[in-house]
Structure 1
């Protein structure tokens, strides 16, 4: 009977040890579970960060490709567009450097996400602005081509009008030029005392009297007109003097034999031009041609025997 209390005491000690061991085991199990879930959470965070970094890098690739695509067009960028493009490229490079870091804190990852979001907005706006610029350039090109066409049309019309005006001026000049009526050339003998008489013998003739009437012309300018005389001998040579000059008529430059002037009044006035031959007359036909206002005025011949 005396051993029973001792046995009971040992039994209680054993129970306490067991309880202690149970508590220790439970505590260890709790710690393992905590560490497991903590590690699991950390692993999940790492996986999430890696996945998010990959997604952001992929989006940067997409945004950069989008920028390159819109820049590949031949649209000439404005200074503002060039500055925006440079800014976007710089931002992409910066974000690539940030995402290339081994680990990102939650704050850094959040900032990278926000930066990419803003970058996406700016790239979208940049693309829209460039498309608008392309439309404006296309519109300007169309306007330029239209202006070129209109200018060519106006130029053609101007050339046509200029030609018509030139033709009209020519017609006016031709129409306003003086023309002779009843033009004759009469040969004269001149005596030493100055007395004149008609004569058709070449050896006696000293001068020609060129007689003519100017045809009435309402568009001809009244007043003084230069008259150029050309006398061609029987051999076909133009008779000239040392002071003979040149003039323009019938679209060519000609040398004259004699030059004088008449006053035109559009009143059927008759005119006479006296011409003394500086050399001896020859037998044959002499041709006399008058010019005024750049055109042939009249023509006649006189024959000497």
Structure 2
């Protein structure tokens, strides 16, 4: 009996040891996966930071405005600082931020490509005009009439180039950066993070920064918001939304608000209430002004 009891105790201890060992292995796997996610997120943020630095250097070299790029860079550095001390690290939350930064880089590359093309066009035209000018100056006094015509042509080119460059600058003057979509419950409590339960959404608070620009005009701007559900349908409310013109076609919008533009990096906040409950899924918020899409944001409903 004594031997049997000892064998039973030994078997029980062996079982408990194996169970504890398996649990420790599972915890180790979870910690390893968390560390890998953290390292990957940090690497992606560092990579985006390097791209922003390169863009800032190039835009300065081309004579463009770096205000928006510097604003995004400051926001990115703030996210990197938070990541170092984020005890409740969520890879999903940071993946949303990384996707927003990557979307901004894609949009900014379009503006940068235009600036490169404009600078190349101006250099080529200036070089061509200088060559023509030198050729005319080498002629005798009998070519004064031709030199006068060339001077007028040079003035016309300069005016056309200035107008073209001004149009490109104005097209990029209005921007909405740092777009945040915040859920407000019926009790007025705000929830952030980009992922919300449908039952806790009474209103949406959409806030963003409108960076200053030396060529922008201080006046009232009509800001249009398009809230799109997972199927791409416009989320609207009777008597609030409507239809606007964009790139030669009519598109629906969720809400319009007139904002006095002060050209001082001002923060803009727009509230939207929908009477019916939001369906689960990923939503997109598009922001328009003066015929251009100036920014976008995202949030998820659970």
TM-score normalised by the chain length of structure 1: 0.42
Larger radius of gyration: 1
